[in-house]
Structure 1
């Protein structure tokens, strides 16, 4: 590539490239793939991370880590246009731009954008690790699936907190799973995993403040380096835990990662987590789980409780439950329970 100066910026001039992105057949002739709709382009390296930092500095974004950040092609184009328009001497004023990349990031941005146009990539996911880390991992460890990586990350996180008790977390997890199967039997794996991880993680917030454990656990989730979690999964997990504390989940605080369409699912998961937490605290270390039964003709939902849970009443949850699930909730106690 031959660099050309324009407006104080260096960007590549490639005379043999066509002015418009070629079609799939032309790309196939030279061995350049076109992304399938289900495929995601991933980029690594300092230039790509810096382009993402510039774009993220222009918006309010809830997840602090860069690894896993998704840079939309149109957003990248706006970043490149900004870099081209600002002379080199004034680029220090661009938020997010690293000073040591001020002279090269424009050309890098044009190159990345050209690749995205050519292979028809709608977005670019930023990797926080480089090729060297990938080579080292490939030759020294067995690469895990995303699900296995998430489980290992949650296990590593909770093990750092003395307030976390495996027995309580396991009981809460079991109760939450039973409630989910009874209330939302067809929920997708993403939401099911979110509730499962939330039930395990909740108690880490007690290390800061018992009475505000939901908010603190939610903040810990956002700040932690949870491997295998996309930014969306982190936002779902954090908002679900925070919403279990008694208030309506503030999905708007997690925009643009979450949208208005996520409000109801997050509220439902938060409510299930809140009920599971309350029942677990009354369970007297028993393995009893509630039974969920729906009354006919939409007359409500009944939780049949046993063991130490028998004294629980949904007095502070009833209104939230009807809003989230569209039904009244009532409790029956197993007469055979001790």
Structure 2
């Protein structure tokens, strides 16, 4: 087992994460910490890091070093971004950090910062064409991504902290100051004309983007409190932007979802995102909870495994495989069999259900993860699996798709209202979603029943369909005893007829 720490020291905040890589190659997070240190405060005026900001950073770094010592973590990837990069005393501060904590910190270029943010996103969000921005305290990194590859990337020296100081937008700036701020931002963005008019989705990294996700979730009553891969429409963004602009500073902190340590910076950050919406013509912003730190890790992990690229070929498959490796007691042969039979039934019954690749991907996800709830308790493990799937670090699905997959798995022992009552997200799927969930969960239940004894005895299934009768001809391993599987599958005949409107007959040979 290997442990690794990652430190990201930005202009506004400092973040620390600790991860472990098990002997089987599975990685998982152990700890994370974030503090607002305002390291870049005053930088735009003095050109130097302030004594107070450096002391706040050092206090955090000493705590992180202690945690690494206690956790027996010897490998640390520590980077500093725009504030240290631009400060006249930045190099001297890094020397002091090393002398007082033993942590060696690297100043990275804006281009590398953009690349690491791209790695964090491309490995965790299923998107191939987008405009990526990472808005920090002293700069914004912008990348145009097409076909999953970065075409152009640049760092622009406008950030939430530096803009707030330059235009004094921390309290009630007035329309004149806000207009001057917006005009300045547009001038600074003239060199990134290649993003203009693309119409591609924005993907946002950073505290400002995350704050807008939280505010929108609170404003709309969104039930799932999860930021990563949350989709915010342009209209909702503009409504929130108007609310922020028109709310006095004394009342701004009371806006649901807006934290106190972000309230004084939010107007400047809003102006940057508004400018990016205007330039690109985007209709939505996808918020990424993964960025530079995850990018650093994926780069390290790829090198450790001698991979050709730090980008996974299939991020959903990779994240499921990684998660299953972290769960004790899983039966890989059973999982493979249930997944195979689920896919086979999906393909055979496609004329009845009419679903395509997206729905099949949900079924496969549910099949691979259907038993993870056993780590909590064998009894009612389908219900536990539903909760875990809904919250596990699975990448490549939208938030709603992940919820739908969780319900498919939650019903793999039969459709139960107990799962819906126990799982708070039952109102999120639409009526069409629920029809799909019930049908695909029926297929998963049949696949699970076919391997009731964990012997993988079903070799193949063929189907005939006529006069509203489905006949499944099930071929088993020669000499196999299939009585238990036959009985278990027969318990699902009524459910099948209810969901598909057809009679199901099982023929064993």
TM-score of the superposed pair, with normalisation by structure 2: 0.56
Query: Is the partner of 1:329 in helix, strand or coil?
Result: strand
Check 1:176–1:31 CA distance in 2 against 1; reply closer, same or farther (3 A cut).
Answer: closer
Structure 1 residues 255 and 116, CA gap change in structure 2 (3 angstroms) = farther
The whole-number CA distance in structure 1 between the counterparts of 2:340 and 2:492 is 20
Cα drift, residue 139 of structure 1: 8.0
| 1:106 matched to 2:237 | no
Say yes or no: does 1:53 pair with 2:250: no
8 Å CA contact retained: 2:182, 2:272? no
1:269 is aligned to 440
Q: Distance in 1 between matches of 2:508 and 2:223?
A: 43
Q: Distance in 1 between matches of 2:223 and 2:326?
A: 24
Shift of 1:14: 4.0
Provide the rounded CA distance (Å) in 2 between the counterparts of 1:255 and 1:108.
33
CA contact (8 A) 1:208 1:216 kept: yes
Mapped contact 1:202–1:214 kept (Cα < 8 A):
yes
CA contact (8 A) 2:217 2:225 kept: no
Which structure's CA Rg is the greater one? 2
Aligned to 1:324: 499
User: What residue is the counterpart of 1:244 in the other structure?
Assistant: 412
Q: 2:232 aligned to 53, 71, 76, which one?
A: 71
- Which one has the bigger strand percentage? 2
Contact kept in structure 2, 1:41 and 1:125, CA below 8 Å: yes
Backbone CA RMSD of aligned residues: 3.2
CA-CA distance at 1:208 after TM superposition: 1.9
Query: C-alpha distance in 2, partners of 1:105/1:221?
Result: 33
Number of residue pairs matched by the alignment: 320
Within the candidate set 279, 300, 303, 2:469 is matched to 300
Q: Distance in 2 between matches of 1:240 and 1:224?
A: 15
Match of 2:346 in 1: 180
3-state SS, counterpart of residue 285 of structure 2: strand
Q: Which runs of 4+ in 1 moved over 6 A?
A: 4-7
More deviation, 232-241/184-193: 184-193
Deviation at 1:124, TM superposition (A): 0.3
From 132, 144, 164, the counterpart of 2:311:
144
CA–CA distance in 2 between the matches of 1:58 and 1:308?
57
Shift of 1:68: 0.9
User: SS where residue 282 of structure 2 aligns?
Assistant: coil
Report the CA distance between 1:173 and its aligned residue.
1.3
8 Å CA contact 2:372–2:385 kept in 1: the answer is yes
Q: CA deviation at 1:261?
A: 2.9
Aligned runs of 1:216-227 on 2, under 5 Å?
216-227=384-395
- Contact between 1:48 and 1:126, CA under 8 Å: does it hold in 2? yes
- Which residue of 178, 193, 199 corresponds with 2:367? 199
1:96-142 deviation digits (Å, cap 9, x = unpaired): 11111101212322331232133211110111133465477568732
Match of residue 253, structure 1, among 412, 425, 432: 425
**Could you tell me which residue of structure 2 aligns to residue 8 of structure 1?**
172
For residues 28-47 of structure 1, what are the structure 2 equivalents within 5 Å? Answer: 30-36=193-199, 39-47=200-208
Shift of 1:274: 0.8
Deviates more, 1:128-137 or 1:200-209: 128-137
Trace 1:275-314 onto structure 2 (pairs within 5 A).
275-282=446-453, 285-297=455-467, 299-305=468-474, 306=476, 307-310=480-483, 311-312=486-487, 314=489
Change (3 A) 1:157 1:16: closer
Classify 1:40/1:247 alpha carbon distance in 2 versus 1 (closer, same or farther; 3 Å): same
Aligned partner of 1:24 in structure 2 is none
Contact 1:35 1:121 in 2 (8 A): yes
User: In terms of mean alpha carbon deviation, does 41-50 or 102-111 score higher?
Assistant: 102-111
Q: Secondary structure at the match of 1:222?
A: helix
Change over 3 Å in CA distance of 1:61–1:308 after alignment to 2: farther
Is the Cα contact below 8 Å between 2:449 and 2:488 reproduced in 1? no
Tell me, yes or no, if the aligned pair for 1:314 and 1:329 is still in contact at 8 Å.
no
What stretches of structure 1 of length at least 5 have no aligned partner?
A: 22-26
Structure 1 residues 114, 138: CA separation in 2 closer, same or farther (over 3 Å shift)? same
Cα distance change, pair 225–166 in 1 and its aligned pair in 2 (3 A): same
Query: Structure 1 residue 263: deviation in Å?
Result: 2.4
